[in-house]
A and B are shown apart, each in its own frame.
Chain A
Amino acid sequence: MHALSKYIAKRLLWTLPTLLIVAVMVFFLVRMIPGDPAQLILGDGASPEEVASLRTDLGLDQPVPVQFVYWLGNVIQGDLGQSISNGAAVLPLMLDRFQVSATIVLVAVGLATLIAIPAGLIAAWRQNDHVDIAVVAVSTLLMSVPSFWLGLVLLLAFGLKLGWLPVVGFVPFTENPWTAITYVILPVVTLMLIEVGVLTRMMRASAIEILRLEYVMHARAKGLSERKVLLRHVLPNAFAPTWTMIGLVLGGLLGGIAVLETVFTLPGLGRLLVDAIFARDYPVVQGCLLFTAVIYVIVNLIVDLCYPLFDPRVTAS
Chain B
Amino acid sequence: MKYANLLRMTATTALLATAAAETSVAQETSTMRVRINADIRSTDPGVNRDANSDAVVLHMVEGLVGYRDDASVAPLLAKSIDMSADGKTYTFKLRDGLKFSNGEPLTSADVLSSWQRYTDPKTAWRCLKDVTGSGVANVTNVAAPDASTVVFTLEKPTALFLATLARTDCGGTGIYHKSSLDAEGKWVKPIGTGPFMLQEWRSGQYVQLAANPNYISPGGERTGYVGDKTPKIDAVRFMIVPDDAAAKAALYSGDIDVIADVNNADIEELTGNEQIKVDKTAAMGLTALLFQTRDPLLKDVRIRKAVLLSLDLPQIAEALTNGQAPASASVVPGPSPYSGAAQKEVPARNVEEAKKLLADAGYNGQPIKWLTTKHYPSLFDAAVLVQAMAQEAGINIEVETLDWATLLDRYTTGNYSAMSFTYSARLDPSLSYDMVSGNKDKSPNKVWDNPEGLELIAESTTITDQAQRQAIFDKLEGMIREDVPLIPLYSGTRIGAVRSNVEGYKTWPVGYARMWGVSFAPGN
Asked if A170 CB lies within 8 Å of chain B CBs, one says: yes
User: Which residue of the partner chain, among B18, B202, B239, B243, contacts A262 with CB atoms under 8 Å?
Assistant: B243
* B444 interfacial contact with A, CB 8 Å: yes
Among B204, B409, B412, which residue has its beta carbon within 8 angstroms of that of A97?
B204
Q: Is B205's CB under 8 angstroms from A47's CB?
A: no
Which chain A residue shows the least CB distance to B38? A275
In the assembled complex, how far is the CB of residue B87 from the closest CB belonging to chain A, in whole angstroms?
25
**B204 engages A159 (CB within 8 Å):** no
A167 touches B203 (CB 8 A): no
Please name all residues of chain B whose beta carbon is closer than 8 Å to the beta carbon of A77 when the two chains form the complex.
Answer: none
Q: A54-B124, A160-B249, A168-B247 are in contact. List 17 more A-B contacts (CB 8 A).
A: A34-B405, A36-B408, A40-B408, A41-B41, A43-B424, A96-B203, A152-B245, A167-B246, A167-B253, A168-B239, A168-B246, A178-B14, A178-B18, A178-B21, A263-B245, A267-B202, A267-B203
Contacts of B241 in A (CB 8 A): 168, 265
Q: List 5 A-B contacts (CB under 8 A).
A: A45-B424, A87-B42, A169-B239, A262-B243, A263-B243
Taking the complex as formed, is B50 at the interface, i.e. its CB lies under 8 A from any CB of chain A? yes
A265 x B240 contact (CB < 8 A): yes
Question: Which residues from 9 to 61 on chain A have a C-beta closer than 8 Å to any C-beta of chain B?
Answer: 33-36, 39-51, 54, 57
With the chains together, A195 CA to B42 CA distance in Å?
Answer: 38
Given A35-B405, A93-B203, A51–B412 Cβ distance below 8 Å? yes
Contact of A47 with B443 in the complex, beta carbons under 8 Å: yes
Residue of A nearest to B121 (CB): A53
Q: How many residues of B contact A (CB 8 A)?
A: 54
Q: How far is the CB of B28 from chain A (nearest CB, A)?
A: 11
5 A-B pairs closest in CB distance: A35-B405, A267-B204, A178-B17, A34-B406, A168-B250
Measured in the bound complex, the distance between the Cα atoms of B246 and A160 in whole Å is 10
What A residues does B246 contact at CB under 8 A?
Answer: 152, 155, 167-168, 262-265
Counted as pairs of residues, one from A and one from B, with CB atoms less than 8 Å apart, the total is: 141
Q: Which among B20, B411, B445 has the highest number of chain A CB atoms within 10 Å?
A: B445
Instruction: Report how far A86 CA is from B49 CA in the complex, Å.
Output: 9
- A-contacting residues of B (Cβ < 8 Å)? 14, 17-18, 20-21, 24, 38-42, 48, 50, 124, 126, 129, 169, 202-206, 239-243, 245-247, 249-250, 252-253, 255-256, 402-406, 408-412, 421, 423-424, 435, 442-445
Q: Is A65 close to B, CB under 8 A?
A: no
Contact A48 to B24, CB < 8 A, known contacts A36-B412, A152-B245, A167-B250? no
Q: In the bound complex, what is the Cα–Cα distance between A292 and B42 (angstroms)?
A: 27
A110 within 8 A of B: no
What is the chain A residue whose CB lies nearest that of B201? A86
A51 to B408 CA separation, bound complex (whole angstroms): 12
Residue of A nearest to B16 (CB): A178
Q: Once the chains are docked, how many angstroms separate the CA of A51 from the CA of B126? A: 11
A201 at interface by CB-CB < 8 Å: no
Q: Which of A41, A42, A178, A272 contacts B204 (CB 8 A)?
A: A272
A88 to chain B: closest residue by CB: B203
Asked if A34 and B48 sit within 8 Å, CB to CB, the answer is no
The answer to whether B408 touches A44 (Cβ under 8 A) is yes
Quick one: closest B residue to A182, CB to CB? B21
| Residue-wise interface mask of A (87-102) relative to B, using a CB-CB cutoff of 8 A (1 in contact, 0 not) | 1100001001100000
Give the distance to chain B from A55, nearest Cβ to Cβ, in Å: 12
Residues of B near A264 (CB, < 8 A) are 246
Residues of A within 8 Å of B411, CB to CB, are 44
Docked CA distance A47–B421 (Å): 17
Complex CA distance for A42 and B128, rounded to whole angstroms: 13
In the bound complex, CA of A97 to CA of B202 (Å): 11
Which chain B residue lies CB-closest to A162? Answer: B253
B405 close to A280 (CB less than 8 A): yes
User: Could you tell me the distance between the alpha carbons of A85 and B52 in the complex, rounded to whole angstroms?
Assistant: 13
- Residues of A152-185 at the interface with B, using a CB-CB cut-off of 8 Å, are 152, 155-156, 159-160, 163, 166-170, 176-179
Residues of B within 8 A of A160 (CB): 249, 252-253
A159 x B423 contact (CB < 8 A): no
Closest chain-B Cβ to A49's Cβ sits at a distance in Å of 8
Q: Contacts of A86 on B, CB cut-off 8 Å?
A: 39-42, 48, 203
Given contacts A263-B243, A265-B240, contact A168 B255 (CB under 8 A): yes
Q: Which residue of A lies closest to B421 (CB)?
A: A44
At the interface, yes or no: A204 with Cβ under 8 Å from chain B?
no
Q: Which residues of A contact B421 (CB under 8 A)?
A: 44
Q: Which of A77-121 contact B (CB under 8 A)?
A: 85-88, 93, 96-97
B409, A34: Cβ atoms closer than 8 Å: yes
- Which residues in A have their C-beta under 8 angstroms from that of B243? 262-263, 265
CB nearest neighbor in B for A44: B423
Checking A42, A96, A169 against B255 with a beta-carbon cut-off of 8 angstroms, the contacting residue is A169
Report the separation of the CA atoms of residues A168 and B126 in the bound assembly, to the nearest whole angstrom: 33
How distant is the Cα of A166 from the Cα of B20 in the complex, in angstroms? 17
* CB of B84, distance to nearest CB on chain A (Å): 30
B405 and A40 contacting across the interface, CB-CB below 8 Å:
yes
Q: How far is the CB of B439 from chain A (nearest CB, A)?
A: 11
